[in-house]
Homo-oligomer: A and B are copies of this chain.
Amino acid sequence: MPAPCIICVAITGSVPQKSDNPAVPITVTEQIESTHAAFEAGAAICHAHVREDDGTPTSDPDRFAALKEGIEKHCPGMIVQLSTGGRSGAGTARGGMLPLAPDMASLSVGSNNFPTRVYENPPDLVDWLAAEMLKHHVKPEIEAFDLSHIFQAKKMADDGRLADPPYVQFVMGVKNAMPADREVFDFYVATTRRLFGPDAPWCAAGVGRNQAVVNDWAIAAGGHART
């Protein structure tokens, strides 16, 4: 029997606002209850961003601490994954929540373009975030926005900057980065298996209207899914 599919629920993200969709959970209380509902529906990982009260993305460790505590209370056993993404802060502020020692945190290991700007992950910041995760025993989820990021994760695992094997997520469908292309998806899977072994776990996320199709591909190919 293949390993069960892990569903990771991405509550909130860093972009959508109540004005886009009133159901987007913004306050920590809303986030906890939204996560609780997803947990009841089968989600096993919560990928979390936090916001200011006005909806602005932030990396505020106090917000993250309150959210983590709420999820642990309402959703016992759920894996908490905190975002260190660059839309919520800059420089080492992106990793200010890592001393909370969440189960997991997202980690970008390369740079790429986003719809209107460069998603900047300079090598020294990547190494600092990875070192903080090692120090606090946080399992990284590698956000692969492009193919070279999978190779970079392998290099970092080989030289001890990551605990081996990393959990890689393919991110597809971001404008100006990698589109949701089926042949690339298959090559991502093959490359991950080649570099990390046939049983290495991996996940895939399709952004926006690409979500459902990438979920389909990932589940059918034996990977895990981000909603």
Contact = CB atoms under 8 A, between A and B. Distances in A.
Interface of A: 110-113, 115-124, 126, 145-148, 151-152, 155, 176-179, 181, 183-184, 187, 191, 194
Nearest to A184: B147
A151 B178 CA distance: 7
B111 A119 contact: yes
A123 B117 contact: yes
A79 B187 CA distance: 35
Contacts of A151: 178-179, 181, 184
Contacts of A124: 116
Given A146-B147, A148-B178, A177-B148, A112 B115 contact: no
25 contacts: A110-B177, A111-B111, A112-B146, A113-B122, A113-B126, A113-B152, A115-B123, A117-B123, A118-B120, A118-B121, A118-B122, A120-B120, A123-B176, A145-B148, A146-B146, A146-B147, A146-B148, A147-B147, A147-B184, A148-B177, A151-B178, A151-B179, A152-B176, A183-B191, A183-B194
Number of copies of this chain that the complex holds = 2
A112 B176 CA distance: 12
Given A123-B176, A194-B183, A148 B112 contact: yes
A140 to B, nearest CB: 17
Given A111-B120, A147-B147, A147-B184, 11 more contacts: A110-B112, A110-B113, A110-B177, A111-B118, A115-B123, A116-B124, A118-B118, A118-B120, A146-B147, A148-B179, A151-B179
Contacts of A115: 123
Nearest to A177: B148
Given A118-B122, A187-B187, A147 B178 contact: yes
Contacts of A177: 110, 148
Nearest to A179: B151
A176 B110 contact: yes
A117 B113 CA distance: 15
Contacts of A145: 148
Contacts of A122: 113, 117-118
